[in-house]
Amino acid sequence: MSFYIATVVVIFGIDVLAAWALNLQYGLAGIPNFAFIVFQAAGAYTAAILTLGPMTASSAQTYIGGAHVPFVVGLIASMAGGAALAAVVGAFAMKRMRADYQAAILLILALILNQFVTTDTSLFNGTSGLANITRPLGSLINPNSTGWQWAYAGLVWALCAVVLFVVQRLSRSSWGRALRAQRDHDAAAAALGCNVVALKLQVFVIGGAIAGLSGGLLVFYLQAWNTGTWGYEETLAIFVSILIGGVANNWGVIVGTFLVQIVFVEVPNLLPQFGYIGLVDALEWIVIGLLWMIAIAFRPQGVIPERRVRAARLGAGAPIRAVPGEPPSRAASRPVGSAQQVPLGAAGPVSGSSEQ
C-alpha cells in the first residue's frame, strides 16, 4: 500500500506540472493547445536517450544518439527538448488566426506526429518504445525500495514548488497582464501596442519547457517510453482538469487535477474488474468527456475561478482622476486604493497587482 500511495503521489505531482504548463498556454493566453501531449513526449524522449547510453547490438531497441549524462542534465535536456519543439511548432501555429482554426491545426499535428513516431522503427523504435531507462538516485537509495519511491515523490513536489513560484510570478507580471489582454481581445491588445504573435510564441515555448520537464520526470520514474501512453486523449484529460479546477487559476488547477487524474482515473483501477476486458478503461474516458461537457455547461469558471487582477496606484501623492460626471468633492473623498483611483502621468507597467 505504501508503494502504491507513493506512486500516486508521484504521478499526481507530474500531472500537476503538466496542467500548469497547459494552463499557462490556454488559461493565460487562450491557446487551445490540443497537441500538448506531444511536447511532454518530446521531453521524455530527450531525457531517455541521453541516459540510456550509446546504442549497441545488444540494446534490442533503436533510438537517436544516446549518451550517459547525469540525471540533472537529463531533466534540463527534457525541458530544452519540449521548448525546442514548441518553438518550431509555434513558428507557424501561433500566427494570428481564429482559435478554432488554431485548435484544429494543433490537433492534426498531434495525430500526425503520433502516427509518425508509432510507425517509425529506425528512429523511435516504433510501438515497442524505449525501456531499461536507469532510475536516478540509485547510488544513494535502492531504486527498487519504497524509500526510493518517497524520495522521488519529494523531488517531484520540490520541483512543483519551484514551477508554481515561477508561473505565479509570470501570471502576476505585466507580461501576464498583456497575455490576458490579448486572450480577451487580441485586436484591442494589438491596437494598444502588444505584439500578440510574439506573446503567444513566448508562452507557448515556456509551456513546452514545463511540459518537457513533466515528461522527463515521468520517464525516469516509469523507466520506459512508449507511444501508446502519449495519445491525444491524454491532452483532453489535462484540459478537463483545468476546466474543472479553474481556468487561469494555478491553485484551482491542483484541485481539478486531483479530481480528474486521481479520483476519476486512478481510483477506478482499484475497483474489481467487470464486464469485458477494457470496459473500465473505456468508461473512464466516457466519464472524462461527460465532465468536460458538464463543466462547460454549468460552471465554466471552475471550482476556484480566476481572480480579477487589480493594479494599485503608484504613490500616495498621485493625483486622482475623477469619474466622468462625479463631483470633485466626492472624488477627493474616495478612500485610498479604491478601484476608481488612477495615477495621472504614470509611465511603464503599474505595480502592486494581486492575483489568486
In a domain, 182, yes or no: yes
CA dihedral angle for residue 183, residue 187, residue 189, residue 190, rounded to 10 degrees: 130
On the question of pLDDT at 333 being above 70, the answer is no
Q: Based on the fold, state whether residues 271 and 356 are members of the same structural domain.
A: no
Tell me the average pLDDT across 339-344: 38
Q: What is the pLDDT of residue 271?
A: 66
In a domain, 136, yes or no: yes
Q: Based on the fold, state whether residues 209 and 351 are members of the same structural domain.
A: no
Q: What is the pLDDT of residues 123-148, one digit of tens each?
A: 788 788 888 888 887 778 888 888 89
Q: Based on the fold, state whether residues 251 and 157 are members of the same structural domain.
A: yes
On the question of pLDDT at 113 being above 80, the answer is yes
Q: What is the pLDDT of residue 73?
A: 93
Tell me the average pLDDT across 149-154: 94
On the question of pLDDT at 105 being above 70, the answer is yes
The model's pTM: 0.83
On the question of pLDDT at 211 being above 60, the answer is yes
Q: Based on the fold, state whether residues 257 and 329 are members of the same structural domain.
A: no
Residue 2 or 275, more confident: 2
Q: What is the pLDDT of residue 55?
A: 78
In a domain, 310, yes or no: no
Tell me the average pLDDT across 348-354: 40
Q: Based on the fold, state whether residues 246 and 353 are members of the same structural domain.
A: no
Give the integer Cα–Cα distance in Å for 107 and 152: 33
On the question of pLDDT at 109 being above 50, the answer is yes
Q: Specify which residues 310 forms β-bridges with.
A: 354
Give the integer Cα–Cα distance in Å for 14 and 259: 15
For position 114, which CATH number holds? 1.10.3470
On the question of pLDDT at 335 being above 60, the answer is no
On the question of pLDDT at 234 being above 50, the answer is yes
Q: Based on the fold, state whether residues 224 and 351 are members of the same structural domain.
A: no
9-13, 164-168, 298-302, 334-338: range with lowest mean pLDDT: 334-338
Q: Based on the fold, state whether residues 230 and 330 are members of the same structural domain.
A: no
Per-residue cell: 215: 515528461
Q: What is the pLDDT of residues 56-81, one digit of tens each?
A: 766 778 888 778 889 999 999 999 99
Residue from 5, 14, 6, 8 nearest 151 by CA:
6
Q: Based on the fold, state whether residues 247 and 347 are members of the same structural domain.
A: no
Residue 142: phi and psi, rounded to 5, are -60, 115
On the question of pLDDT at 49 being above 60, the answer is yes
On the question of pLDDT at 348 being above 90, the answer is no
Give the integer Cα–Cα distance in Å for 102 and 93: 7
Confidence of residue 85 (pLDDT cuts 50, 70, 90): very high
Chain center to CA of 122: 30
Integer distance in angstroms from the first to the last C-alpha of the chain? 35
Rounded alpha-carbon distances, angstroms, from residue 348 to 102, 191, 344: 32, 17, 12
Q: What is the pLDDT of residue 347?
A: 37
Confidence of residue 311 (pLDDT cuts 50, 70, 90): low
In a domain, 311, yes or no: no
Q: Specify which residues 225 forms β-bridges with.
A: 130
Q: What is the pLDDT of residue 133?
A: 87
Q: Based on the fold, state whether residues 144 and 293 are members of the same structural domain.
A: yes
Tell me the average pLDDT across 313-323: 45
Q: What is the pLDDT of residues 259-299, one digit of tens each?
A: 998 888 777 766 667 767 777 777 888 888 888 888 888 88
Residue 140 or 325, more confident: 140
Based on the structure, what is the number of domains in the chain? Answer: 2
Q: What is the pLDDT of residue 270?
A: 66
8 A C-beta contact, residue 91 and residue 201: yes
Tell me the average pLDDT across 26-35: 93
CA dihedral angle for residue 255, residue 260, residue 261, residue 262, rounded to 10 degrees: 80
Residue range(s) defining the domain that contains residue 332: 317-356
